[in-house]
Amino acid sequence: MKKTRSLGALGAALTLTLALAACGGGDSGSGSDETAGGSGGTGDNTLTVWAWDPAFNIYALQEAEKVYQADHPDFKLDIVETPWDDLQTKLTTLAQSGETDQLPDIFLMQNNAFQKNVINYPDIFADFNDSTVDYSEFPESVVAYSTVDDTNYGVPFDNGTAIGAYRTDVLEQAGYTVDDFTDITWDQFLTLGKDVLAKTGKPLLTGQAGSSDMIMMMLQSAGASLFDDEGKPTITDNKALMSAIDMYGQLVKAGVFVEVNSWDEYINSIVNSATAGVVQGVWISGSIQSAADQSGKWAVTNVPKLDGVDGATNYTANGGSSWAISADGNTELASDFLDATFAGSTDFYDTILPKSGALANWLPAGESDVYNEPQAFFGGQPIYADVLKYAAKVPSNNTGAYYYEGRDAVSVAVTNIMNGADPASALAEAQSTVEFAMG
């Protein structure tokens, strides 16, 4: 199928209704079909797909089906709503039982879990060595999530590029603009944050206590990881990690970053004007825009970078997902479908962005009129085109097979450090925890 890259605008306001589950992989609320599955769908021109979230991922699949049907009228998708936790359980069960013929042709994977699954269950994944997908049209950092031993196993979809979003009216009260928060270091951010807090009474950031989201974003912004290239944990003697944890502690101690007890409290702190800013994956923009009274009072820029750390940048990510193909499925058709839509159609991405907030990782999408449309909520800024520019600059980092174990261990260590534990000892304990999990 010929790739389509028309630049016609849709003439629709880009109002996001982005569900948080799109990046978090949670259950969208409706039940999944536990009996459906099996490669190849119901015919040679039908593909079975597992994905979660009807308003986001499944909607995108339905629109991609229409695009592909323009040149392949007999083509169909058999889409089975499958919450992420259920999908991961099914993959593990079928791989371990050898019943891989029960897998779908295509399934969605959380980026941070991709390498883990390919490494643990290599026989269920088809590679893209024979496909025509042009991976140079995606950010290197996103492609890296689904790459193992220099082989591509996925096609990126959901964009998790991080943004710094700020209340311009609050910054103005303190004598600043969003330009003062562009291309800065975390040390500069801390200084600015103290001044904003003193003049307005508002912290620049909030976040869920016990979560290592901010630490992980700081770490990736320097191209650093919790693991080396061989997959061994590097939690101790990790300069970038120590720098991130130290800065996080300074932000909290100064009141520039306020810890809250739950995700709901975190979102409420944003929409209820309790904070002057957000540093998070771009998917948070859906929650920001749920506060209609704040329209025109937000602006977006890149994120601060770590001071004194080699490779530090002002770009990072949190979340996102990619499509995988089952080795037992109709790999040729599945690969061509993904190449022609998620890796090749501007019209497709122009359609799904206004209605679902599904922001592309496919960089050519950022050239369209739709992506460059000024967003009234963000003061007329074309934030979606800007975010794709940020995405191209995010450093790659190694997730490996034990990413979540490492992340959880670091979360515990950070909590202990915030409660007074010796940082070196807390991180040594985290390292031992991960090494034990690895056997």
pLDDT in the model for residue 38: 52
- Tell me which residue of 323, 374, 375 sits closest to 152, measured CA to CA: 323
Q: What is the pLDDT of residue 2?
A: 33
**Tokens, residue 342:** 């998620």
- For residue 427, give the H/E element and its range: helix 423-437
For residue 100, the model assigns a pLDDT of: 92
Q: Which domains does the chain have, with CATH numbers?
A: 21-160+319-370 (3.40.190.10), 162-316+397-437 (3.40.190.10)
pLDDT for position 353: 94
Helix (H, G, I), strand (E, B) or coil at 386: helix
Measured distance CA(174)–CA(378) in Å, rounded: 19
In this predicted structure, what is the pLDDT of residue 43? 57
**Whole-angstrom Cα distance, residue 31 to residue 81?**
7
Which three-class secondary structure string do you get for 340-369?
Answer: HCCCCEHHHHHHHHHHHCCCCCCHHHHHCC
Strand 46-51 and strand 76-81: the pairing is parallel
**What tens-digit pLDDT sequence spans the chain (439 residues)?**
333 333 333 333 333 333 333 444 333 333 334 334 455 444 589 999 999 999 899 999 999 999 999 999 999 999 999 999 999 999 999 999 999 999 999 999 999 999 999 999 999 999 999 999 999 999 999 999 999 999 999 999 999 999 999 999 999 999 999 999 999 999 999 999 999 999 999 999 999 999 999 999 999 999 999 999 888 999 999 999 999 999 999 999 999 999 999 999 999 999 999 999 999 999 999 999 999 999 999 999 999 999 999 999 999 999 899 999 999 999 999 999 999 999 999 999 999 999 888 899 999 999 999 999 999 999 999 999 999 999 999 999 988 899 999 999 999 999 999 999 999 999 999 999 999 999 8
Question: What's the pLDDT at 325?
Answer: 98
56 contacts 18 by C-beta, under 8 angstroms: yes
pTM: 0.86
Contact partners, residue 198, CB within 8 Å, separation at least 6? none
